[in-house]
Amino acid sequence: MRPVTTPPLGLMGPPGRPPLPPAQLRALVGDYRRRLTQCVPWNPAMKWQPQLNLQGATYGIRELFPTVGASLDPVHALAEGLYVDSPGGSFRYCVRVQPRGRPLLTWWGSQVGTVIFDAPVGIPALFQARPGRAPDDPERWNEHPWMSLTPGEYLTLRPGTRMARGHTIVAGLGLAHQLIEVTRRLQVKRVTLVELSQELVDWLMPVVTPLLRKPVDVVVGDAYEVIPQLRADVALVDIFPGYGNAQAQVAELAARSPGIKKFWGWGTSEMSGRRLRSR
Ligand SMILES: C[S@@+](CC[C@H](N)C(=O)[O-])C[C@H]1O[C@@H](n2cnc3c(N)ncnc32)[C@H](O)[C@@H]1O
């Protein structure tokens, strides 16, 4: 699953080591204070930079369930009205509060950066349940969400979305961010969504469908088995829990998919500096 937050400032430092010494912590806090004075409006077309300093009020994002309130509470302990669960109980949609000045991770190729906001923002997120956990088990939900609408996700999904044209395959529903964006491109005629979870499709597609602007066929199944049987202009594959290590899997999938002209996987274009082709 996709880790997004950094620890509170006092605990930052190499993993497994003691908290930062006071002088380093003071320098870090000073740096974040400086960054808070330099915040600019969010723009989904903005370039990735190692330090993004954003005005929270400008971070307008799509909420699939707009009545769900934002919360800082643990995912398993959210009160009524602060989450929506899929009917089978395997997925939870909630909106995480991102506090003012608390860094969120971003990635670009081999580089890692942070984004901070000058005001709290709500970040919609999709968590999946760990198999076999009871509804009241504090360990029921995976620690990291499958997807959350952070600037890091926006910026790293964008290179794939920009490749979409003609008949495009989108593998991985998540919060449907990329699916929706792909259907809004003029160059796209139709889309095939490939998603592993029937439960996620049955729950979210009725919510997402009014937001789609092109016909979308849905295939429920494992993208590694389904995609090689399809024909399309482009396949955009985002079924990966971690950023930056999908190169080999996407290349292998592309090699087994003679009917697909171009491939992109989450992070592959930034890692390689080029787009992957099947042939
Ligand atoms: C990171 S989320 C996708 C986020 C999506 N790009 C968005 O914009 O919201 C990954 C999705 O891929 C699905 N998935 C995971 N493994 C898969 C597989 N082998 N085949 C198809 N879908 C898979 C998960 O159920 C999840 O919905």
Q: What is the pLDDT along the chain (279 residues), one digit of tens a residue?
A: 555 555 555 445 545 556 778 888 888 888 889 999 999 999 999 999 999 999 999 998 899 999 999 999 999 999 999 999 999 999 999 999 999 999 999 999 889 999 999 999 999 999 999 999 988 889 999 999 999 999 999 999 999 999 999 999 999 999 999 999 999 999 999 999 999 999 999 999 999 999 999 999 999 999 999 999 999 999 999 999 888 888 999 999 999 999 999 999 998 878 765 544 433
Q: Residue holding tokens 């990291």?
A: 144
- DSSP H or E run through 116: strand 111-117
Q: How far is the CA of 194 from the centre of ligand 1 (A)?
A: 8
Q: How far is the CA of 276 from the centre of ligand 1 (A)?
A: 19
CA nearest ligand 1 atom 2, residue: 174
Q: In angstroms, rounded to a whole number, what is the distance separating the alpha carbons of residues 99 and 27? A: 20
Q: How far is the CA of 24 from the centre of ligand 1 (A)?
A: 39
Ligand 1 pocket check: which of 63, 127, 147 to mutate, most ligand atoms within 8 Å of Cβ? Answer: 147
Does the C-beta of 157 come closer than 6 Å to ligand 1?
A: yes
Cα angle value 225/231/233 (rounded, 5°): 120
Contact 116, 103 (CB under 8 A): yes
pTM score: 0.91
Torsion sign, CA atoms 60, 63, 67, 73: negative
Does the C-beta of 204 come closer than 6 Å to ligand 1?
A: no
Does the C-beta of 222 come closer than 6 Å to ligand 1?
A: yes
Does the C-beta of 223 come closer than 6 Å to ligand 1?
A: yes
Q: In angstroms, rounded to a whole number, what is the distance separating the alpha carbons of residues 104 and 21? A: 22
Q: What is the largest CA-CA distance in the chain?
A: 58
List, in order of start, the domains of the chain with CATH numbers: 9-148 (no CATH), 162-277 (3.40.50.150)
Task: Record the tokens describing residue 75, joined without a space.
Answer: 């995912």
